[in-house]
Amino acid sequence: MSMAHQSQTSRAARVLLADDQPHVLDALQLLLKNNGYSTEAATHPSRVLQALDAGQFDVVLMDLNYTRDTTAGGEGLELVSQIRSRDASLPLVVMTAWSSVDLAVEAMRRGASDFIQKPWQNEQLLQKLQTQVERMSAIRQAQRRRADELQEARDIQNKLLPKKLPEVADYEIAGITQPVRFVGGDYYNVVRISDAQTVLCIADVAGKGLAAALLMSSLQAALKPLMWQKLAPRELCSRLNRILCDITPVGKFTSFFYSVLDSRDARLTYCNAGHNPPILVRANGEATELNAAGAVLGQFPDWVYEQSEVRLGSGDKLLLFTDGLIEASDADEEAFGEHRLAAIALNNPAQNAAELMNSLMQASSAHCGGHFQDDASMVVLRAM
């Protein structure tokens, strides 16, 4: 039975054997080799963990009793817990010559997949191993499918983000997004909709991962035709909100900042739909927030949005960002915060847009030890 199973696989299933008795290991290795398995032996729990760190196995077959504790199974139970904490899905079959119901229950409670009593019956042992190997094969196939699907989703999402930002006379623009998972719910774009007008926008869907990415793709699809109608920011947000209210799941929403830069008079007209207020850093050393705000998108279909405008001068910098950047927290759970964004921009007046963007992203990443809790994105605009 096991031989037939092995012949169907592209490689021999690998079994990690763990027992402190050499003659037991010899017998198990001979049995499994004759039935098409590849084996590796370990005589001590520490060597089991080393083997798992060094290679991939399809199943672990391990004794519960070792030299330190030959009857209670304490060392083996501890090893079960350690293995399971490292790999939640790896099949783990335990063996003991001093088996009891309580010991078996405790081993299973800690994550063992099955239980065999010594002396074992060859057919029973082979059947249990085959069952676990097939289970692991199914898990890995599902993981590969999931990885392929996520890669496709990531490729699609990357195509929704701008590959290259447009050049705008007398301005520098830089943008970046860093999803905390394989795909994310952040979005930004910079689009020239006329010779003199350029759209700068940023959005953040509540939540993370694939669900947030799907809703973000819906926002992008709805936004694109509206942008080219050259609507006033407040009108665009109102129309976009009504569309998203029809498709946003319960409990979800999207924060959104939409602005149009008119290079003829250096005027930025903007509407904020519940997003983090962008920070305007003036060349004279002042930093203010563009804090006019309306409701988030996707919740209130009849919301009437307002818009504001601001003039930009030479050396001024505008920072658009999502909350993942400012909520990145250190070991003491202190958030990076808007004040650090503003301080870095104020202290680096000579940096161009791309340099400042990189400085801000690196500072936030360093603050949280490189472990962002949420998607982090930003757009930096600098007037030259």
Q: What would the pLDDT profile of 28-47 be if each residue is shown by its tens digit?
A: 999 999 999 999 999 999 99
| CATH 3.40.50.2300 domain locations along the chain | 2-151
Question: Could you say which residues of the chain have pLDDT below 50?
Answer: 1-9
User: Could you count the other beta carbons within 10 Å of the beta carbon of residue 121?
Assistant: 10
The contacts of residue 23 (CB under 8 Å, 6+ apart) are none
| CA 364/CA 237 separation, integer angstroms | 30
Fold of domain 2-151:
Rossmann fold (3.40.50)
Q: Are strands 186-192 and 171-178 parallel, antiparallel or unpaired?
A: unpaired
Q: Which pLDDT score, from 0 to 100, does residue 175 have? A: 97
First to last CA, the chain: 75
| CATH 3.60.40.10 domain locations along the chain | 161-383
CATH of domain 161-383: 3.60.40.10
Q: Which pLDDT score, from 0 to 100, does residue 157 have? A: 66
Residue with tokens 């003829």: 264
| pTM confidence score | 0.70
User: Could you count the other beta carbons within 10 Å of the beta carbon of residue 355?
Assistant: 15
User: Could you count the other beta carbons within 10 Å of the beta carbon of residue 39?
Assistant: 19
Q: Which pLDDT score, from 0 to 100, does residue 159 have? A: 72
| CA 94/CA 112 separation, integer angstroms | 7
Q: Which pLDDT score, from 0 to 100, does residue 4 have? A: 38
Q: Which pLDDT score, from 0 to 100, does residue 75 have? A: 85
Q: Which pLDDT score, from 0 to 100, does residue 324 have? A: 94
Residue type, 271: C
Q: Which pLDDT score, from 0 to 100, does residue 5 have? A: 47
List phi, psi (to 5°) of 95: -135, 150
